[in-house]
Amino acid sequence: MFSNLYISDITFKEDISDSKGYITSIPFVKTMSAIKLRKPVTFFVGENGTGKSTLLEAIAISAGFNAEGGSRNFNFSTYSSHSDLYKYIRLSKGIKKPKDGYFLRAESFYNVASQIEKLDSQGGGPAIKDSYGGKSLHEQSHGESFLSLVLNRLGGNGLYIFDEPEAALSPSRQLTLLAQINHLVLKNSQFIIATHSPIIMTYPNAEIFLLDEKGIRPVSYEQTEHYILTRQFLNNPRQMMKYLFED
């Protein structure tokens, strides 16, 4: 059956067992054969070290994005640190191709902003920064520059891959991000997001995949540790502090 999503399946190739280096230590590499995406918004959640960012990076590279982020038109490298996982996955794509796309990595967004400055300084066409709101991303705070991207650059009918976007955003700005995600989903967009944020992962009807020592499995929002711990803390922060600080 044809899918309306731009990416509907992520299949791990059989020879992934022959891979070497860091990716051999990731639990899902040993246990997963495929991940089926069924919703316009997919979240990958889990503890640090479970492979969220590595998986997201592999998806982005396989979809034609630069390893450090940006649109498909970006082709630069400040440091080659991406894993080889992209060589061992296959993406099943829908019947329609996205007209827009962006890979956001919070850790390397500064490099993307620097590349935009470099390209604009060379001239030869409209300033790239105009599509980000008209102001240099380096002249804004991290959070402001990220929102400039989300609110101005992303136009819909797109595939958007975000790695821990909450790193740049206050809680109120995370709510702004949720509103814009919904706006873009209504314009036929698909999001694949790795996040630790219990705010961002509340997006209605999203699919949440938990990455842990057992591999990758779908969970409900209420089953995530992010929801459980945040709720426990907010219900009784004093009791939580007492528990944490006990000898």
- Looking at per-residue confidence, does 197 or 131 come out higher? 197
Span 127-149, average pLDDT: 76
45, 48, 53, 58: CA torsion to nearest 10: -100
CA nearest neighbour of 135 among 143, 127, 125: 127
Decide: helix, strand or coil at residue 61.
Answer: helix
Predicted local confidence at residue 225, as pLDDT: 95
Say if residues 41 and 191 touch (Cβ distance below 8 Å).
Answer: yes
C-alpha span between 78 and 112 (Å, rounded): 10
C-alpha span between 162 and 182 (Å, rounded): 15
Q: How confident is the model at residue 147 (pLDDT cuts 50, 70, 90)?
A: confident
Span 194-201, average pLDDT: 97
Predicted local confidence at residue 120, as pLDDT: 67
Residue-wise burial string across 238-247, b where 16 or more C-beta atoms lie within 10 A, e elsewhere: eeeeeeeeee
- Looking at per-residue confidence, does 246 or 185 come out higher? 185
Instruction: State residue 19 phi and psi, 5-degree precision.
Output: -70, 160
Span 153-181, average pLDDT: 94
**With left for phi above 0 and alpha for psi between -120 and 50, is residue 213 left, alpha or beta?**
alpha
The pair of structure tokens assigned to 67 is 């390893």
Residue type, 81: S
Say if residues 181 and 121 touch (Cβ distance below 8 Å).
Answer: no
Decide: helix, strand or coil at residue 75.
Answer: coil
Maximum mean pLDDT: which of 12-21, 114-123, 208-217: 208-217
C-alpha span between 181 and 21 (Å, rounded): 35
How many C-beta atoms surround the C-beta of residue 142 within 10 A? Answer: 15
- Looking at per-residue confidence, does 113 or 206 come out higher? 206
Span 179-198, average pLDDT: 97
**Residue 218 DSSP code:** E
Q: Quick one: what percent of the chain has pLDDT higher than 90?
A: 53
pLDDT per position as a tens digit, 49-91: 899 999 999 999 999 998 888 878 776 655 566 788 999 999 9
Q: How confident is the model at residue 168 (pLDDT cuts 50, 70, 90)?
A: confident
Q: How confident is the model at residue 127 (pLDDT cuts 50, 70, 90)?
A: low
Q: Quick one: what percent of the chain has pLDDT higher than 70?
A: 89
List domains and CATH numbers for the chain.
Answer: 7-245 (3.40.50.300)
Predicted local confidence at residue 18, as pLDDT: 67
**Residue 99 DSSP code:** S
The pair of structure tokens assigned to 184 is 């873009």
List, in sequence order, the alpha helices (H) in the chain.
Answer: 27-31, 52-62, 109-121, 142-148, 171-185, 225-235, 237-245
C-alpha span between 207 and 220 (Å, rounded): 8
The model's pTM: 0.90
- Looking at per-residue confidence, does 108 or 139 come out higher? 139
pLDDT exceeds cutoff 70 at 186? yes
Query: What is the distance of C-alpha 64 from the center of its chain?
Result: 15
Mean model confidence pLDDT for the chain: 87
